[in-house]
Amino acid sequence: MIELSAAEIAAITKGHLTPPAAARQTQTVSSVTVDSRDVQAGGLFVAKPGETADGHQFVPQAFLNGAVLALVEHPVAETGADGAAEYPAVVVDDVVLAMGRLAAEVVRRLRAHSPLTVIGITGSAGKTTTKDLLSGILSELAPTVAPIGSYNGEVGVPLTVFGADYTTRYLIIEMGATKIGHITYLADLVAPDIGVVLGVGSAHAGEFGGVENIALAKSELLRALPATGTAIMNADDARVLAMEQRTIAQKLYFTSDNTHVPAGGPVIRATSVTTTAEGHPAFTLTVPGDDAAYPVTSRLIGTHQITNLLAAASVATVLGIPGAATAAALSRLEAQSRWRMERTERADGVTVINDAYNANPESMRAALRTVAELGRGRRTWAVLGEMLELGEDSIAEHDAVGRVVVRLNISKLLVVGMGARALYNGAVLEGSWGDEVLFADDLAAAEQMLTAALQPGDLVLFKSSNGVGLRFLGDRIALSSTEAPSTATPGTSVPGSTELQGEPQL
């Protein structure tokens, strides 16, 4: 992060300094965190109110760990101090809004100092994978900052910005939303030069009031782009394609379907799409202005990853990276974030695919298709939990996914939790009987069933919304064979004292 003084932070955030902070207005901070355990010496601790804990409770610990300033909504007294001594802090009305103001000013100063390209990515699925791919490509060229995990909301975006400094050339921002206006707010903070829309799904449809409102929310990224910017759109999604009317930016499309692209529009294409025996998508990449075609064999799992691969290739093309270099990078890069088609091979021959970071009907179907393709000649399991926030369509959508499991001939379905009971019912009504479909009231019961029933050679998928916690059961099952050489991507640290809690934003 660029250094800012206490006085500057107070002015930027429209706050005021507590007496100890006022006495040392020139004190600078060089890092920001919302987790008291992650404070670096000389850092700013943001006392964010959380769902289960208030960050103000952790101000003393933050200063013990090296913080020199706090951003708070009310002063915090030093424990055991004589009189009314307070920790040095900037007091604001709303720390989250203050973080946003601070992030916007950081971006402004970075742009004033040296060239900076800000890339915004949104979509109902695939944001984090696309971000990881793009970070892998760009970081080999110049200093690049990208979100940790799935930081994509009003707290996560500023935290990403705070990771940048005056050497940063590329700043990648994930943008999620739980209502209309969220992405506009985030775009106002970072002023993206390039905007990528991956797709419009039905996750959070209940909160938004329907899929059309989700599409409207996603289009906010493209509406925020300047005329000199570039809007990158998934031409295989009709709702995304319709957004072209909402932007004044230059347009670039990508497709693996090759049937819906506007005539004359510049297009990134994937043709000759196949999958390897290990489930890795393979295709031929073509880019505008280049007559050559480049083979890509990704190390990701599932043909649905082609959307993310093409989106990353599109950004690379806008930034002038040659097609050959882009194809080589896409063939080399692996998944970096946890619980996204994360594959573990146990020593006893059981394969675990943990894709339970989030879920919606579209991503459920994609994961199930991948398991059906990978599992030819093997016994396959789908361990599925609830898809949250689908609103009035929840029962019908869960029922439909249960029927898809049967139609794909997946050997075993284990449904976990009453919130997903309609998924179980759908499979039964579609014709799955006896021990082909099982129901567990909770994670503990599901774990007992799997521990007893899994056999060498089985392939098992875990998939649910983040809030269900099925990803942790997937971890335990993956590690239950103690001699297993795990191929899972190492996890990233998760904030604890004021955790970014709940379902990842759409």
C-beta atoms surrounding 31 within 10 Å: 18
Give yes or no for a contact between 210 and 109, defined as CB atoms under 8 angstroms apart.
Answer: no
Burial class from Cβ neighbours inside 10 Å (0-12, 13-18, 19+) for residue 349 reads: middle
Same domain? 322 vs 352? no
Give yes or no for a contact between 314 and 449, defined as CB atoms under 8 angstroms apart.
Answer: no
Residue 49 belongs to domain spanning: 4-93
Give yes or no for a contact between 368 and 410, defined as CB atoms under 8 angstroms apart.
Answer: yes
Same domain? 424 vs 288? no
In 3D space, the residue among 492, 481, 489 whose CA is nearest the CA of residue 351 turns out to be 481
Output the domain CATH number for residue 68. Answer: 3.40.1390.10
Cβ neighbours of residue 165 under 8 Å, at least 6 residues apart? 1, 2, 110
pLDDT tens digits, the chain, 506 residues: what are they? 999 999 999 999 999 999 999 998 999 999 999 999 999 999 999 999 887 889 999 999 999 999 999 999 999 998 665 555 899 999 999 999 999 999 999 999 999 999 999 999 999 888 999 999 999 999 999 999 999 877 899 999 999 999 999 999 999 999 998 889 999 999 999 999 999 999 997 655 556 667 888 999 999 999 999 999 999 999 999 999 999 999 999 999 999 987 777 766 799 999 999 999 888 999 999 999 898 999 999 999 999 999 999 999 999 999 999 999 999 999 999 878 788 889 999 999 999 999 998 888 988 998 999 999 999 889 999 999 999 888 888 999 999 999 999 999 999 999 999 999 999 999 999 988 778 999 999 999 999 999 999 999 999 999 999 889 999 999 999 988 644 334 443 333 333 344 454 334 56
3-class SS at 196?
strand
Same domain? 153 vs 263? yes
- The C-alpha atoms of residue 113 and residue 416 are separated, in whole angstroms, by 53
Residue 501 token pair: 């809690």
Same domain? 11 vs 118? no
Same domain? 399 vs 294? no
Domain stops at, among 332, 361, 379: 332
Q: Is residue 80 part of a domain?
A: yes
In 3D space, the residue among 32, 43, 163, 184 whose CA is nearest the CA of residue 107 turns out to be 163
Q: Is residue 112 part of a domain?
A: yes
Output the domain CATH number for residue 358. Answer: 3.90.190.20
Q: Is residue 494 part of a domain?
A: no
DSSP of 124-178: SS-HHHHHHHHHHHHTTTS-EE--STT--STTHHHHHHHT--TT--EEEEE---S
In 3D space, the residue among 313, 398, 329, 340 whose CA is nearest the CA of residue 126 turns out to be 340
Same domain? 179 vs 315? yes
pTM reported for the whole predicted model: 0.85
DSSP of 366-407: HHHHHHHHHTTTS-EEEEE------GGGHHHHHHHHHHHHHH
- The C-alpha atoms of residue 158 and residue 100 are separated, in whole angstroms, by 6
Residue 267 token pair: 């297009």
Domain stops at, among 286, 306, 332: 332
In 3D space, the residue among 99, 150, 241 whose CA is nearest the CA of residue 506 turns out to be 150
Domain stops at, among 280, 303, 332: 332
Q: Is residue 498 part of a domain?
A: no
Instruction: Calculate ∠ Cα 296-302-306, nearest 5°.
Output: 45
Same domain? 348 vs 288? no
- The C-alpha atoms of residue 150 and residue 118 are separated, in whole angstroms, by 17
- The C-alpha atoms of residue 60 and residue 77 are separated, in whole angstroms, by 9
β-strand partners of 412: 381
231-260 pLDDT tens trace:
999 999 999 999 999 999 999 999 998 777
287-324 pLDDT tens trace:
998 989 999 999 999 999 999 999 999 999 999 999 99
Cβ neighbours of residue 468 under 8 Å, at least 6 residues apart? 356, 385, 386, 388, 416, 417, 419
Same domain? 67 vs 159? no
Same domain? 394 vs 474? yes
Q: Is residue 258 part of a domain?
A: yes
Give yes or no for a contact between 492 and 338, defined as CB atoms under 8 angstroms apart.
Answer: yes
Same domain? 176 vs 226? yes
- The C-alpha atoms of residue 295 and residue 276 are separated, in whole angstroms, by 13
The secondary element (H helix, E strand) that includes residue 328 is helix 323-332
Give yes or no for a contact between 282 and 273, defined as CB atoms under 8 angstroms apart.
Answer: yes
* Overall number of domains in the chain: 3
C-beta atoms surrounding 407 within 10 Å: 13
Burial 131-162 (b: 16+ CB within 10 A, else e): bbbbbbbbeeeeebbbbebbbbbbbbbbbbbb
In 3D space, the residue among 17, 23, 72 whose CA is nearest the CA of residue 45 turns out to be 72
Q: Is residue 486 part of a domain?
A: no
Same domain? 387 vs 315? no
Same domain? 433 vs 389? yes
Q: Is residue 105 part of a domain?
A: yes
Output the domain CATH number for residue 293. Answer: 3.40.1190.10
Q: Is residue 16 part of a domain?
A: yes
